[in-house]
Homo-oligomer: A and B are copies of this chain.
Amino acid sequence: MCALLAVAADLPASQPAAGPVERWSVFEAAFDGPRDGNPFVEVRLRAEFRFQHRVVEADGFYDGAGVYRVRFMPDTAGEWTYITHSNRPELDGKSGKFTSAPASRGNHGPVTVRHAYHFGYADGTPYFPVGTTCYAWAHQGDELERRTLATLRTAPFNKMRMCVFPKDYVYNTNEPKYYPFPRDAAGHNDYTRFNPAFFRHFEQRVKQLMEMGIQADLILFHPYDRWGYKNMPAEVDDRYLRYTVARLAAFRNVWWSMANEWDFVKEKSLSDWDRFFRIVQESDPYQRLRSIHNGAVIYDHAKPWVTHASIQGDDFNKAEEWLRAFHKPVIYDECKYEGNIPRRWGNISAREMVRRFWLGTARGVYVGHGETYLDPQDVLWWSKGGVLHGESPQRIAFLRKILEDSPQSGLVPLPNQKYPVVAREGEYYLYYFDLHQPAELEFDLAKGVKYQADIIDPWAMTITLAPGAYEGKFTLKLPGKPDQAIRFRKLR
C-alpha cells in the first residue's frame, strides 16, 4: 500500500501531499492494489467523503501499474474525511482526511443552471457561455496542443466543445498519439482495458482549460470514427462512461455532452442515449451539466436528465419555442462556422457569425463559435485547434463583455415584440435589429424608471451613449443602418 496522497491532479501520483486542497479543486488519493487479472473490470473501488453530516460518494479507477486512484472535488472549505470500499481487501477500508482551503481568486467553482435559462458559478458569479469548438484538439500532439492553449489564453471563449475519442473526418485524418483502449498493430482494440496514458494526457488538457477558466464540454461519443469507438458493445460503452466519469468528474470545469450529432451515430438507438445519460447521472457525484448535441434530429431536451439544450442549428426563430418547451438554458453551440471551406457548414462570413451571436443573445439563448479556414496543413481551428484567423472572435469578446455587464440574474426574451429583445424588466433591455435599419423607433419600457440608452454597433464594436434620459413610452432616433443594437439601462 502506498501513502495517502492529497495532490493537485496535475502532479505525478507519487508526489507527497502539498498542503490543503483548494475548494472546488481536485483531491486525489492513490493506493497500491492488485495487478492480477484485469483490474479495469474485476476491481471495484469507491470512497465516501464526509464533511460534518454530509457524505458524498465517488468512484475510484485503476490507473495502471498497480495504482488505484480516487478523485474528489470538495465543494466546501474545511475538514473532510474519507473511507474506501472495495471488493478487494487491499483497497477496502482505507481512510484519510484532508483540509479544503477557501478558493483562490479566479476559482469560482463549477457551473450550474441558474434562473431557469442561465448559468452561474458556485460562488454566485454569473456564467455566460461564450464557447468555441475544437473537436479533436487534444489528440494533435504536444506542439499543436500547446499552440491551441496559447491561442485560448487571449481568445474570448470560456467554453470548449471537445471530443474524448479521436476524430476521423474531412481535414482531420491524422492518427492520434494516444488511444483510449490498448490497440495492437493490426488495429484491434482491447475493449476490456483502458489506456491510462490516453486519459492522463486528456485530463491534463482539461485541467489546463480549467486553469484558464474555460469549461470543457466533453463529447463522450461521436460518429466520426475509423477506430471502432462508435460501435463498441454496450457493456464497453457503459464501462467507458463510468471510467471517464471516475477520472474526470472531479474537475470543476467538466460538462458532459453525450454525443456530437447523436442521430448520425447509426449504430446506437435512442434508448442507448437515454441509458448513457442515466449512467452519467448516477455516477457523477457533482451532477455536472449534461447535454446531447444533434445532427438533424433534436433530442427531447425536456427529459429530466438533460440540464440544458445543446443545439446544432441556425434558425433563431425556434429559440422561443425551445426555451418554452425545455424550460432550460438553450445553447446554439453549432450554428455553422466562420471560414471559407467548400462545405456549407464551414464557410459563413465573420459578419454572419457575429450576427448569429447577437441574434441568439437577443432571443434569450447562447451561441457557440467555430472556425474553418482552409489551411495548407489542414489545421482548422474547429477540429485541431492551432491559431485563430477570423474576424469574429474580437467581436465575440465585445459581446461577452456586454453580457458580463448585464444583470446577474440573466435576461429573458420579452414576448410579442417587433424586434428581438431580452430584458430584465425595469432594469435592462437589449435589442438587436439585425437586417432592419429603423431611423427612429418607439419604445415602451417599464414605467417609473429612467433609462440611459446606448447604441451599440456589434461589428464596429462601439457603444454610443444617446443624449438624455428615457422613460415609459418614447421615440428614439436610431442610426438607420443595419446590424445595430440598443441597450437601455436603469439610471442610478
Contacts and interface: CB of A to CB of B under 8 A. Distances in A.
Given A435-B349, A481-B349, A374 B340 contact: no
Contact of A437 (B349, B418, B480, B482): B349
Interface residues of A, number: 26
B341 A435 contact: no
Contact of A341 (B339, B373, B438, B482): B438
A344 B374 CA distance: 38
A351 interface: yes
Interface string A441-463: 11000000000000000000000
Given A342-B441, A442-B342, A436 B374 contact: no
A10 interface: no
A439 interface: yes
A352 to B, nearest CB: 4
A318 B352 CA distance: 22
A388 to B, nearest CB: 16
B349 A440 contact: no
A419 interface: yes
A113 interface: no
Contacts of A414: none
A343 B419 CA distance: 10
B347 A437 contact: yes
Interface string A405-443: 000000000000011000000000000000111111110
Contact of A436 (B344, B419, B436): B344
Contact of A418 (B344, B349, B439, B482): B344
A439 B373 CA distance: 9
Instruction: Point out which of A418, A419, A438, A441 has the most chain B C-beta atoms below 10 A from its C-beta.
Output: A438
A482 B349 contact: yes
Contacts of A439: 340-341, 347, 373-374
Contact of A374 (B343, B348, B418, B440): B440
A342 B440 contact: yes
A340 B477 CA distance: 11
Contact of A351 (B347, B374, B482): B482
A353 to B, nearest CB: 9
A438 B482 contact: no
A439 to B, nearest CB: 4
Contact of A348 (B340, B436, B440, B441): B436
Contacts of A435: 348-349, 351-352
B480 A438 contact: no
A360 to B, nearest CB: 15
Instruction: Point out which of A347, A349, A351, A439 has the most chain B C-beta atoms below 10 A from its C-beta.
Output: A347
B349 A438 contact: no
Nearest to A351: B482
A15 to B, nearest CB: 49
A89 B481 CA distance: 66
Contacts of A341: 438-439
Interface string A237-249: 0000000000000
A436 B341 CA distance: 9
B481 A438 contact: no
Contacts of A343: 418
B481 A437 contact: no
Given A349-B437, A437-B349, A344 B482 contact: no
24 contacts: A340-B437, A340-B438, A340-B439, A340-B480, A341-B438, A342-B438, A342-B442, A343-B418, A347-B436, A347-B438, A348-B435, A348-B436, A348-B437, A348-B482, A349-B436, A349-B437, A349-B482, A351-B435, A351-B482, A352-B435, A352-B482, A373-B439, A374-B439, A374-B440
Given A342-B440, A374-B440, 8 more contacts: A340-B439, A342-B441, A344-B419, A348-B437, A348-B482, A349-B437, A352-B435, A374-B439
